[in-house]
Amino acid sequence: MTILCEIAELQALATSYRTEGLVVGLCHGCFDIVHLGHIHHLRQASSLVDRLFVSITADEFVKKGNGRPIFSDRVRAEFIASIRYCSHAIVNHSATAEPVISALRPDVFFKGADYSSSTDPRVKAERLLVHSNGGRVTCTDGLVMDSTSRIAQVIMS
C-alpha cells in the first residue's frame, strides 16, 4: 500500500497492471474521519478488482463545513493507504475526481450507495468520463452506512 505523489506514477502503475491483465478500480472521497461504512465500501470495491486505487480530496477542495477537514490530506492519505483493501492512495488536487479518472482510466469506478441516484453535475461528469474510457461505475451496497459529518458533529458538540 503506497501513497503516490504524482499523477504520472498513477498512470504508470495502471498501465503496468493492465499489461498484466489485472482489473483496476478507483474509489474517490474525502475520507476525513474513516468509519465502518468507508471500510465496508473499500472492502467491497477491492473484492471486485485486482488493484484498488483511492484518491483523497485535497484540503482546499473539501466543502464539508467549518473546521473540515479535520485531518490534513496527507494524514488522510496515510490512513487510507494503511487499509489492506487499498493498493495505492493519491491526494487529488482538483475539485472533482475527473483528473484522476482521466489518468487512471479505471475499469471500475466505485461510488457509495448514497450516490446511486445522484443528480449532482459533478457525479454525472465523472460517470460520463468513466464510460467514455470504457469503464463502468458501480455503487457499493451501502449495507453499513454512517456519515462523517454526523460523527464530526457529535465529536465537536
Averaged in consecutive runs of 10 residues, what is the pLDDT profile of the chain (157 residues)? 84 96 97 89 97 96 82 95 96 95 97 79 93 96 60 56
> What is the domain partition of the chain in residue ranges?
2-156
pLDDT, position 150: 53
pLDDT, position 123: 87
What are phi and psi for residue 80, nearest 5 degrees? -60, -40
Q: Can you tell me the distance from the alpha carbon of 101 to that of 130, in angstroms, rounded to the nearest whole number?
A: 7
What are phi and psi for residue 107, nearest 5 degrees? -70, -35
Q: Can you tell me the distance from the alpha carbon of 69 to that of 2, in angstroms, rounded to the nearest whole number?
A: 22
pLDDT, position 145: 58
* Class for the domain spanning 2-156: alpha beta
Q: How many residues does the chain have?
A: 157
Say which amino acid occupies 30. Answer: C
